[in-house]
Amino acid sequence: MKQEPKCDTSSPITDNRKVLEDRILRNREVTPEGHWLWLGYIQPSGYGSFQIGRTTYYAHRTSAHLYLGLDLKDSDQQACHKRECLMRHCFNPDHLYVGDAASNIEDMMEMGRHVSWNRDWTHCKHGHEFTSENTYTWTGKAGYSRRDCRECNRIKDRMPALLRRMACALLVA
């Protein structure tokens, strides 16, 4: 009986290339379309994953690390699926590219896979209506657009000054 290779969990994951490669290649099914489908555990998000020691690794990120040069320790680098591949548990390096959060979100939106859960909100969490006059739109670090309530920002900006005046009034009285 063939023994399963052991992983030295004390050494960094990048030192275990052979173990990683063996682990992902024996957990794949190759489809006629060229997908490498993960046969192991599938996360609720749809991505394949496995554990070495107490650390969870995603199959598509590991594949991008092994075959495309993704640095697993660099949180700015992401393993992104190309637009032609809509299967999250596919980890074929030909279907992946190394990108950043902004390019990944852009691709997701163009493929119709990005769900903007707050776009349907008509009011902020404090009850102010999102109107063109009361809404501030800006772009976050990762490249996604965001909106804030101007009235809430105004109240928040005034709060420290108001608290100072109240404290002074209490001290004088």
Facing residues of 38 across strands? 28
The model carries a pTM of: 0.58
Return d(Cα 149, Cα 59) in angstroms, integer. Answer: 40
pLDDT of residue 114: 63
Tokens 């996604």 locate to 144
Q: Which residue segment(s) compose the domain that 156 sits in?
A: 117-173
Closest CA to 38 of 27, 25, 46, 23: 27
- Domain harbouring 32, CATH code: 3.90.75
Of 66, 83, 115, the last residue of a domain is 115
pLDDT at 66 over 90: yes
**38 alpha carbon, distance to own chain's centre:** 19
Return d(Cα 1, Cα 3) in angstroms, integer. Answer: 6
Of 90, 115, 140, the last residue of a domain is 115
8-40: pLDDT as tens digits:
333 455 457 888 898 899 999 999 999 999 999
